Structure 1
């Protein structure tokens, strides 16, 4: 196997392409957008620079691994600085908490609530760390090919030790009584697009990772990672083709044979699809047998993550905000979450996330100015369409800005907006082929996680592999990087098996040829002896 095509230059596509190119494969990477990155993209206008999608760097060793495996120094591509304080959290106009990475500071913050909750909080982090190690060693870093990869004594015991049947919010509530602390621990499940009242308690490892491993920032914003990966891929000799949307993954006789781009067929020995799995199955894999159980009906019936409504605001003023990241909680957080996941409507009282990168990186805004990213978790697009008309968007914008001014440091933000751009679920669907605009892909419910999540190796098509947020192990940049690793490992595993079989076949053929040659030689000698005997008889 020599030629590999990767579909989609998002985080997963870039990382898998780098791994395979570095392993000696001839990799071509097709991307529909004018530049690589997928949702990890950037807006650069009027002197302001904004990250489009991801903004928080956690588990930096997984970011660095992509460069280290190619023998590069990650600091030459993705320098990082630790973020401190970790985050500001607002529960109302007069009630705010600052979270820190520093153990002494976080302990002081917790003790200001109660010593009992401090003890419970720290004890819970220990419980989560134990579960994290179980998940990492048994599920997150393993792919699943067949039932026995999951339904075996070791995996089943590990699953029981994870206590996945309870939801995230109930899990933290057993250790912490204060409602504010419960929210500050439970809301991070929204990072991967699932309600803390629904998501398996396993996903409480996210706040543990933040607190124990820290949160980091890359100068230039998160797009620095995408830019660095694209540069490394090309330095390794990879062929990156932007503005080249793949129209079809071609399957012949049960094997992926290449792709069609702009009507032209590009052959390959294997295809890695990093496009959103539900979109890819519905629109790119047109061979029904290759899709297996993922029919249109099944894809439509699956559960999808929430989406995002994002305001990118360029401000002609610098506000006294000290935190890179901030969260504003709805007064009734459970109703807020119900509006999103059960009712499928814009929340009556939305929670939102603020990201102010120019606080730490002044180069991202003109001198004396500031950029502000405001993200509101919202429902994904329903099958029948949603109301994201200009009038609806304008109404949602006003609702959010009212709360920003009333409950954050940006108390007169409307008066200082000099640049503005909006993203809705419809934009994520159109620009990044996020099925139903679900920013985080398939919702990581219990029955859409681990073995029950789409696998990294296609089950009904040889030579086809998947990575990305809708595939195993799930969403979030570090986890998608793991997904890329697993997809590349699956491809190499199949290639080794194919080479081994081909080598065995060649040896068998050579041995057979030797036997035939020996038999032919013996036959020739016999014929020569017979002729000689006949000659002697004739001479007499």
Structure 2
């Protein structure tokens, strides 16, 4: 087979930018096509009236994985993308009046409405959690997740950890922590999955271990600085980024991807194509039906999707009294399925972020940014999201926040699943594409059955999150160059 000299990439999120940067570094001509007016996809930000809002991703976890991605494309991450650790990650208030606050490292403070917590016992439980799970985290982030998916590698290197991956997060937290309020706060960290603790696989506990070891971070200037920094590697080596350029179709001839049909440009020929949109869109929409492999079409049509999201973002003129980045008013762990009940009658369980606690520069001087995701009906028809429906949910969210903080609102920004679909090209508005319950071997493959067509992004291994999606781009580019 002739060597690949040119590659067309669909999508300018972190996976596409990482793949493009590595390919360009190896002398391959890269053209990247982004439908929106800016790069970043789910890791972009939007400035409205001086307030910087996240379009998708809220923070960075696993910074070592991102460091590796940057090194692969020839960038020194600390130099081009300085990070600020979130030293006050979360405060949780329980119905009984207990308050649990996570600080930096293993610092956990429990304020009991009645009685006191056994601090020595809690410290031991935290250390026991880290002793049990941190070796698995290191194995995954330093070896398993940064290499192509391999059952033999997992078995050879991770067999000692496999027994504890059985069960659920609820099972594991009951095993680890004796205090009900502490368990509720711990499980609250993992509700971003869109699943209650009893439906999350036990391995999701690694999200907690990440918080207490590596920590969560924000790039200075906001999440949009991640794709901005990654794009430097692609552009510096002659790669091209085309904004406001929508791809209509992947062109296949004689069983091989030969390029793209692009709005306003017609046929763009390339030796290979990388699609960063979800596998559901690649095999369900971007390929002619006759060209889409039957197995991939079945995967796309039967995909177990993640939850869709509704976001409310407020720019405040005032500085709110918020001690932590994330604030949760939660029931006990056993009842946290209630957090996902639609807020038609008001927001009962209030969960929101205040990124200006860590990065005040995201708002004008003296101001604040609040971001929250009130629960909505998951089977609500996506095209029925009207302005009136959005305004009704916004009003309920603001009412709930106003019970906790004084709100001098300067800017409001609301996004329904319809906007997430239309603006970020998320299939049916599903924020992660595939559900966190989907096993890695059921993700879409990097090397597709169509020669010259590669798939990357959060519906491929190693899954969702900024660091993982960017790593997927690197693995895909390496697979392409090895072909």
Q: TM-score, normalization: structure 2?
A: 0.89
Which residue of structure 1 lines up, in the alignment, with residue 436 of structure 2? 444
Task: Tell me the SS of whatever aligns to 1:271.
Answer: strand
Which residue of structure 2 lines up, in the alignment, with residue 318 of structure 1? 319
Measure the CA separation in 1 of the matches of 2:426 and 2:464.
Answer: 13
Query: Normalized per residue, which structure has more helix?
Result: 1
Task: Tell me the SS of whatever aligns to 2:197.
Answer: coil
Q: 1:480 to 1:71 in 2, by over 3 A?
A: closer
Q: 1:199-241 CA deviation, whole Å, 9 max, x = no partner? A: 2111110110111012222221111112112233212221000
Q: CA deviation at 1:378?
A: 4.6
Superposition map of 1:472-511 within 5 A: 472-494=461-483
Q: 1:344 to 1:265 in 2, by over 3 A?
A: farther
Single out whichever of 155-164 and 26-35 deviates more from structure 2.
Answer: 155-164
Q: 1:454-489 CA deviation, whole Å, 9 max, x = no partner? A: 12211x211111111111111111211221121112
Measure the CA separation in 2 of the matches of 1:83 and 1:450.
Answer: 29
Question: Which of 413, 416, 419 in structure 2 is aligned with 1:424?
Answer: 416
Question: Which of 130, 153, 159 in structure 2 is aligned with 1:125?
Answer: 130
Q: How many residues align?
A: 476
Q: CA deviation at 1:131?
A: 2.6
Measure the CA separation in 1 of the matches of 2:140 and 2:200.
Answer: 15
Which residue of structure 2 lines up, in the alignment, with residue 79 of structure 1? 82
Superposition map of 1:313-352 within 5 A: 313-323=314-324, 325-331=325-331, 337=337, 340=340, 349=347, 351-352=349-350
2:11 is aligned with 1:8: yes
Task: Tell me the SS of whatever aligns to 2:366.
Answer: coil
Measure the CA separation in 1 of the matches of 2:436 and 2:207.
Answer: 14
Measure the CA separation in 2 of the matches of 1:430 and 1:334.
Answer: 36
Which residue of structure 2 lines up, in the alignment, with residue 358 of structure 1? 356
Q: 1:19 to 1:156 in 2, by over 3 A?
A: closer
Which residue of structure 2 lines up, in the alignment, with residue 391 of structure 1? 388
Pair member with larger Rg:
1
Q: CA deviation at 1:44?
A: 1.3
Q: TM-score, normalization: structure 1?
A: 0.80
Measure the CA separation in 1 of the matches of 2:101 and 2:454.
Answer: 43
Single out whichever of 236-245 and 351-360 deviates more from structure 2.
Answer: 351-360
Q: CA deviation at 1:155?
A: 5.9
1:167–1:199 CA contact under 8 A, matched in 2: yes
Measure the CA separation in 2 of the matches of 1:305 and 1:168.
Answer: 17
2:114 is aligned with 1:113: no
Measure the CA separation in 2 of the matches of 1:121 and 1:184.
Answer: 13
Larger RCO (CA within 8 A; separation ≥ 6)? 2
Measure the CA separation in 2 of the matches of 1:36 and 1:470.
Answer: 19
2:50 is aligned with 1:52: no
1:330–1:349 CA contact under 8 A, matched in 2: no
Q: 1:84 to 1:189 in 2, by over 3 A?
A: closer
Single out whichever of 237-246 and 113-122 deviates more from structure 2.
Answer: 113-122
Which residue of structure 2 lines up, in the alignment, with residue 220 of structure 1? 221
1:333–1:351 CA contact under 8 A, matched in 2: no
Superposition map of 1:102-181 within 5 A: 102-103=105-106, 105-106=107-108, 113-114=117-118, 115-136=120-141, 139-144=144-149, 149-150=150-151, 154=155, 158=159, 161=162, 163-181=164-182
Deviating beyond 6 angstroms after TM superposition, the runs of 4 or more aligned structure 1 residues are: 107-111, 343-348
Measure the CA separation in 2 of the matches of 1:179 and 1:93.
Answer: 11
Superposition map of 1:256-275 within 5 A: 256-262=257-263, 264-275=266-277
Which residue of structure 1 lines up, in the alignment, with residue 280 of structure 2? 278
Measure the CA separation in 1 of the matches of 2:353 and 2:266.
Answer: 42
Measure the CA separation in 2 of the matches of 1:190 and 1:484.
Answer: 26
Q: 1:84-123 CA deviation, whole Å, 9 max, x = no partner? A: 12222233594322201234x3378899533434423321
Q: CA deviation at 1:422?
A: 0.3
Measure the CA separation in 2 of the matches of 1:203 and 1:209.
Answer: 10
Q: 1:229 to 1:152 in 2, by over 3 A?
A: closer
Which residue of structure 1 lines up, in the alignment, with residue 402 of structure 2? 405
Unaligned 5+ runs, structure 1: 495-540
Which residue of structure 2 lines up, in the alignment, with residue 533 of structure 1? none
Q: CA deviation at 1:133?
A: 3.7
Measure the CA separation in 2 of the matches of 1:363 and 1:175.
Answer: 38
Measure the CA separation in 1 of the matches of 2:142 and 2:64.
Answer: 16
Unaligned 5+ runs, structure 2: none
Q: 1:36 to 1:429 in 2, by over 3 A?
A: same
Task: Tell me the SS of whatever aligns to 1:308.
Answer: coil
